[in-house]
Structure 1
Amino acid sequence: MTAVATAWKPVDRGVTGVAPVRRLTVLYDTECPLCTFAHNWLAKQRQLVPLEFVPAGSQEALRRYPELDHAATLTDITVIGDGGQLYRDSAAWVVCMWALREYRATAHRMSTPAGLKVAKQVVLGAAKYRETHRDRQAGGGAYRRKDGWTYDRNGGWYYVPPGSGTEPPACDSGCRTAD
């Protein structure tokens, strides 16, 4: 039995020299049920490389990474290494598994060309699940309460800029009285 050699060239991520990864920041959509589940699951695992979770599109994410396309971080998980490495799509999921004690060997298998195809299929399945559930939310996920959008059963969605002092009462049961 002989081994099959393949030509593999590393992907240039713009990092010069050897940049060990000592910490990973995971940007995730807090309003996505699948993303929240993945966040909770990752946070409970034993980590060889610490994972820090920051809500995608938040003020904290904007402050830390001003050059990043923050709209894209809301469509899929984005992971940023402390050396400036940027991982998206299936590579982000693989690097999260690599950071976990129990899944590092699996991550190494998934980082091969054949493994990346499997990882891509898993990510596409997760994206399909996410889109299905996003459409079930009122507003299809386009109107986010934390951005200042409020839903009125009689009038639909309306925008109130956060901190404008015109927020609706804290307890709005939806019952209306005649004015």
Structure 2
Amino acid sequence: MRRLTVLYDAQCPLCVHVRHWLLRQRALVPMDLVPAGSVEARRRFPALDHAATLEEITVVGDGGQVYRSADAWIVCLWALAEHRAKAHWLASPTGRPLARMTVLAASRWRAATAGPTCDGGTCGAPGRSG
């Protein structure tokens, strides 16, 4: 793999923070960081489920490989010089549960800090109706 495209939610403060962190790291594999659901993302990957990319981090390899959730975080770390060994450990049977728990915790934080939601024509705080 020679290049990765990281699709991140540009409206999510945590996702934007991680994007900036990734940009500051020394990469062994270059990464393009593209807002999920954007015109650019749709142009690059027309067959991808773009609604799903807004729900969880998605990374696409230059050979068409698609990584989601914990696998996406692991491949991002694998691409970084200082974190490749950690990525190998997180991909192992011993580290995989920690990778899953980390992604789940980030997802829960993201849901808890999201702005108002408008499902079914009513708007309210996340997890509340009306």
Give me the TM-score of the superposition, normalised by structure 2.
0.89
Where structure 2 has 5 or more consecutive residues not aligned to the other structure, the ranges are 124-130
The equivalent position to 1:83 in structure 2, one of 44, 63, 78, is 63
- Equivalent position of 2:31 in the other structure: 51
2:93 and 2:48 map into 1 onto residues whose CA distance is 27
Aligned residue identity for 1:127? S
Give me the TM-score of the superposition, normalised by structure 1.
0.65
Structure 1 runs (4+) deviating above 2 angstroms are: none
- Equivalent position of 2:6 in the other structure: 26
The equivalent position to 1:117 in structure 2, one of 97, 103, 106, is 97
Which structure's CA Rg is the greater one? Answer: 1
1:64 and 1:35 map into 2 onto residues whose CA distance is 20
* Length, aligned pairs only: 120
Sequence identity, in percent? 54
Matches within 5 A, 1:7-156: 21-134=1-114, 137=115, 139-140=116-117
- Secondary structure of 2:106's aligned partner: helix
1:51 and 1:128 map into 2 onto residues whose CA distance is 26
- Secondary structure of 2:95's aligned partner: helix
Where structure 1 has 5 or more consecutive residues not aligned to the other structure, the ranges are 1-20, 144-155, 157-179
The alpha carbon displacement at 1:113 in A equals 1.6
Aligned residue identity for 1:88? R
Q: CA RMSD in A?
A: 1.4
- Secondary structure of 2:27's aligned partner: coil
